[in-house]
Chains A and B, each alone.
Chain A
Amino acid sequence: MSASVVGSRPASMRSAKDSPRSIVALARIEAARLMRHPILAAGLVCYAAFTATFRWFTYPDADYTGDVSSAGTFDWTVIGALLVGLFGFVAANRVARSTDRTAGSVDASPMSQSRRTLALCFACLAPFAVTVLGNAVILVMWLVHPPVLQPGWFEVATSEKVWVLATAALTGLGGPVLGVAVASWWRWPGALAVTGAALVVWCVTSAGVVSSLALRLLHVSGPYTTPEYSDETSAIIWQGGSLMWRFAYVVGLVVLAAIAAVAYGTVGLRRRRLQRLAVAVGTATLVAYVLAVFVGPAARLIAQ
């Protein structure tokens, strides 16, 4: 231990204008913490292994002669939703709660809780980048080696494929951001398990066949779902609807989760601003949802 004289106060960084730079600096550190969290790190390693070997265990080229009729083209996107989205949900929640133990000194810092949470939401862009990259790699792989024997491959437009992959990639952002929001608002024991289970149930139930308006509403509402449905006769049904508007709807859900997370602990003008923003984004999300349901092609059989 040194008893040397305390150094002179460094000239720095002490104006309110520096806040954005501080948030960026904190977001970098939080991103590293998030990506190193054991649960997400394990998910990322598995997801990377899956992406790297995708070509060999799915339908990469015309030489494939196996029975491929039982699986949809986009079923594999559940891997990213699970390993990055769901695992990221848990990891981000744990990272957000980790500073609870340090509350005394953290609360006495000039970075308010809402700004710390905002930084953590930005940090969630790191796992999102992974799912974007993973889906982009597979899209390129498909363009180079089209899975020509994949049922319905030629029945789905390229733009539809891109929207499906883009929406699936959002799980890498939405899961972690939702984890942060849950950490902000629900601190009771088991909150993470209950909301995680609810999220999974929502996604699973929304993956069913669209045979009525009610089921279409449920299908489109899911934060993650595949656009195909394979029934007991192995027919593959393209669920239809506007994939572009569905993408916009899921983006709206992610932004709403981020606003909810950041709003925790705010008061006064800042709270009112966030409330107004939430109403605006919520309205836009609802509009996107309605358009996703009612605009776009109807459900169709793409493979028998």
Chain B
Amino acid sequence: MNHMTASATASLRGVSKRFGSAEALAEIDLELAQGVTGLLGPNGAGKTTLLRILATVMAPTSGAVRLLGLDPDDLDNRVEVRRTLGYLPQELGFPRGFTTFRFVDYMAVLKEWHESAPRHTEVRRVLDLVGATPFSTKRIRVLSGGQRRRVALAQALIGDPGLLVLDEPTTGLDPEQRAVLRGVLSSAGRRSTVVLATHQTEDVAALCERVIILDGGRVRWAGRVIELVATAVGKVWLADLPDAGALTSWRTGSGRHHHVGMQPPSGAELVEPSLEDAYLLLLGRPRTGAEIGSEIERGVASAS
């Protein structure tokens, strides 16, 4: 039975994934259409598991998945889906000895670009898109973390895929690179369905029309970004003093305190909420120190 709506590129119905006794995804229902969709959630929320299912490298324990109108459970369909799929895993290693160009060229061959002339043209195109042309002849092992991430992204863009699945694409990129990458992804989103998981709410706010928030393997929000942000209107304030009763509160660079919570602190000034404020309010808890530490560690590891 096809549950997909006419515009949906990907459809998940009652999708669950278990690893032993741990439930990574629980009865997920989602539809993804053309455009850029952000995937947010705390560590362990199930984002990577969901993306791996969308990328056909992992099968759900139960539930129905349809990608580009096909059931990837069938081997032939799965191959067909992969022909128009780009996937950037969270941590992509590289074989030893490859230069940037050779690696992306290798991945292009795996995507069935068997004729060398058009393949090389395509490789040069995607390397240019992510700004990797200046180091295309360098061995990958000598590249920085941000450069490697761009190489990894380049392989996902080969063939202008109809479904682009990106797991933390901006990790390790500097602000300028991130800004340009947003241009690349928003451009791709005009023709393709782009799903990107990230911890950077500003990337989602800048790029995505829709956002999905996962928590504990369940969808907490699936809808337009502006609608999510609207849920935080009237719940974010700037005040001169800290407020222990706020959901989360921090001292800003101006010396005033940014409060997110249901009750205004005394003398507070209501401000425009950001996506991050809405996200924190939705989850009902700020990120823990351990979660933040883990993210910093991963960022440092990626950058190195």
Contacts and interface: CB of A to CB of B under 8 A. Distances in A.
A29 B187 contact: no
A7 B125 CA distance: 8
Nearest to A23: B114
Contact of A106 (B75, B88, B110, B183): B110
B159 A105 contact: no
A111 B110 contact: yes
B57 interface: yes
B189 to A, nearest CB: 10
Contact of A16 (B79, B115, B183): B79
B128 interface: yes
B126 to A, nearest CB: 9
A110 B118 contact: no
A3 B57 contact: no
Interface stretch (A96-104, A203-211, A248-256): A96-104
A9 B93 CA distance: 27
A218 interface: no
Given A3-B180, A6-B184, A6-B188, A112 B79 contact: yes
Contact of A6 (B87, B116, B165, B187): B187
A205 to B, nearest CB: 35
A12 B130 contact: no
B220 to A, nearest CB: 26
B157 A10 contact: no
Interface in A15-30: 16, 18-19, 21-22, 24-26, 29
Interface in B173-192: 176-177, 180-181, 183-184, 187-188, 191
Interface residues of B, number: 59
A215 B97 CA distance: 45
A65 interface: no
Interface string A143-156: 00000000000000
A295 to B, nearest CB: 44
Given A5-B187, A102-B94, A10 B114 contact: no
A110 B122 contact: no
B93 A102 contact: yes
A105 B97 contact: no
Interface in A243-289: 267-268
A4 B188 CA distance: 10
Interface in A172-216: none
A218 to B, nearest CB: 39
A101 B93 contact: yes
Given A29-B106, A104-B87, A14 B160 contact: no
Contact of B112 (A3, A100, A110, A268): A110
B115 A13 contact: yes
Contact of A3 (B115, B152, B159, B184): B184
A101 B95 contact: yes
Given A5-B187, A25-B116, A105 B180 contact: no
Interface of B: 52, 55-57, 75-76, 79-80, 82-85, 87-97, 105-107, 109-116, 118-119, 122, 125, 128-131, 150, 152, 155-157, 159-160, 165, 176-177, 180-181, 183-184, 187-188, 191
15 contacts: A1-B130, A1-B131, A1-B177, A4-B128, A22-B114, A25-B113, A25-B116, A101-B92, A104-B89, A105-B107, A108-B56, A109-B111, A110-B112, A111-B109, A267-B75
The 5 closest A-B pairs by CB, nearest first: A1-B131, A101-B93, A104-B89, A3-B183, A25-B114
Interface of A: 1-10, 12-14, 16, 18-19, 21-22, 24-26, 29, 33, 36, 98-102, 104-112, 116, 267-268
